[in-house]
Amino acid sequence: MSSIRDVAERARVAVSTVSAALNGTRPVAADTRRRIEQAAAELGYRPSLLARGLQSKRTRILALLYPTPRSGFGLTEMQFATGAAEAARELGYHLLLSPEHAEPVEELRHITGLGLVDGVLLMEVGLDDERTDFLLEAGVPFSMIGRTRDPGSIDYADIDFAATAAAAVAHVAGLGHRKLAFFNLSADRHAARYGPAIRAGAEFAEAARAAGIGYVDDFRPGSADEGGQAFERLVAAHPDTTALAVMDDHAAVGVIAAVAARGWRIPEDLTLLLVLSSARVAEMFHPRLTTLEPPSAELGGLGARMLIGRLEGDGPPAQRLLPCRLVVGDSSAPPRAGERTGS
């Protein structure tokens, strides 16, 4: 690799002039600049990020902290990462993928202590997240994909659960349904104070209330089996339910099986919505499910942009909510006029 000295020698100028010419830090005579640029091009010169970073205390590297896949990392999470990486790249930054192990705060301390990264992007943010306390205290710039209960002036990009729930409710109400059930994420996720589980629950209830349709949300199935069971209990307790929104992919699988087992059909006997699942997953189902697809890549990109904005000293905190996109599949239809048949 050729260094700035090589360029300077070849262009017969001082290194400081090369630096100035290449960065536009101070005026350089047009002719000198030309010689320098040519020399740099001929040598294939690339300024060393390390040296530059050492000097300027800025590396243009961002760390994306991600929890080691628990039950499994979804497509959604992946898209946060790729979205963020993409946005970072566009702005001349790099994204470091940092797995969090047992002790997230330790991990943070480690990664920020190295002086390697300018800022941190947090994923899977809990309502109360100890990592934010640490970062705030340590004065490390960061932004969140998701948000804590009280984000204060921290930058974040999160799903607009209110708009998402409203869209879902409008969709089913528009089809003529009068009673909607909502299967939230598993009890585990609630116990972990997982924001999406809690916010979606609250917002669906509110949206149903506002729309004046019936609403049930006592279920939190986290697997196919639990999904099937929850569905059976739902039908037993609320036979007038004609539309169901499910947050957990696997639970949806169980619901579909249970529907078929009763001799019912989707969408004739039940309108089924997948909430916060990518359309790619929805396509795996047959019939193709209507889904509220989270704008994952956009959220990741926004998170990265916000962080960079902060690093480059922008203004007020950027806090953005993006609604899920309603992708209508073949699992939604008006409710059947008469009684449902089957067992």
Q: DSSP label at 194?
A: B
Q: DSSP label at 332?
A: -
Cβ closest to its own copies, residue 8 vs residue 253: 253
CA dihedral angle for residue 89, residue 72, residue 256, residue 232, rounded to 10 degrees? -130
Cβ closest to its own copies, residue 183 vs residue 204: 183
Cβ closest to its own copies, residue 136 vs residue 237: 136
Region of 25-33, 155-163, 240-248, 283-291 interacting with DNA (CB under 7 A): 25-33
If one asks whether residue 12 binds DNA (CB under 7 A), the answer comes out as yes
Report the distance separating Cα 8 and Cα 182, nearest Å. 67
Cβ neighbours around 115 below 10 Å, total: 11
The number of residues that bind DNA (CB under 7 A) is 32
Report the distance separating Cα 60 and Cα 117, nearest Å. 7
Cβ closest to DNA, residue 5 vs residue 101: 5
Q: CA 54 → CA 33, 51, 120, distances in Å?
A: 25, 5, 19
If one asks whether residue 51 binds its own copies (CB under 8 A), the answer comes out as yes
Region of 49-57, 77-85, 103-111, 264-272 interacting with DNA (CB under 7 A): 49-57
If one asks whether residue 105 binds its own copies (CB under 8 A), the answer comes out as no
Cβ neighbours around 66 below 10 Å, total: 20
Write down the least CB distance from residue 45 to DNA, Å. 7
Residue 158 binding: pick among its own copies, DNA, none (C-beta 5-8 Å cut-off by kind): none
Sign of CA dihedral 40, 43, 49, 54: negative
If one asks whether residue 342 binds its own copies (CB under 8 A), the answer comes out as no
Cβ closest to its own copies, residue 115 vs residue 174: 115
Q: Which of 22, 43, 78, 322 binds its own copies (CB under 8 A)?
A: 78
Residue 99 binding: pick among its own copies, DNA, none (C-beta 5-8 Å cut-off by kind): its own copies
Write down the least CB distance from residue 74 to its own copies, Å. 7
x-marked contacts with DNA along 52-81 as a string, rule CB under 7 A: x-xxx-------------------------
Report the distance separating Cα 190 and Cα 311, nearest Å. 34
Cβ closest to its own copies, residue 14 vs residue 261: 261
Segment (H or E) for 157:
strand 155-159
Write down the least CB distance from residue 304 to its own copies, Å. 11
Region of 17-25, 155-163, 249-257, 308-316 interacting with its own copies (CB under 8 A): 249-257
Residue 235, C-beta contacts closer than 8 angstroms, at least 6 positions apart: 241, 262
Max distance between CA atoms of the chain, in angstroms, equals 90
Given a contact cutoff of 8 angstroms between Cβ atoms, the answer to whether 76 and 296 are in contact is yes
x-marked contacts with its own copies along 29-48 as a string, rule CB under 8 A: ---------------x-xxx
* Strand order from edge to edge, sheet including 271-275: 214-219, 179-183, 243-246, 271-275, 290-293, 325-327
Burial of 27 (0-12, 13-18, 19+ CB in 10 A): exposed
Write down the least CB distance from residue 155 to DNA, Å. 25
Task: Give residues in contact with its own copies (CB under 8 A).
Answer: 1, 44, 46-51, 53-54, 59, 61, 64, 66, 68-69, 72-75, 77-79, 81-82, 85-86, 89, 94-99, 101, 110, 113-116, 224, 249-250, 253, 256-257, 260, 280-281, 283-286
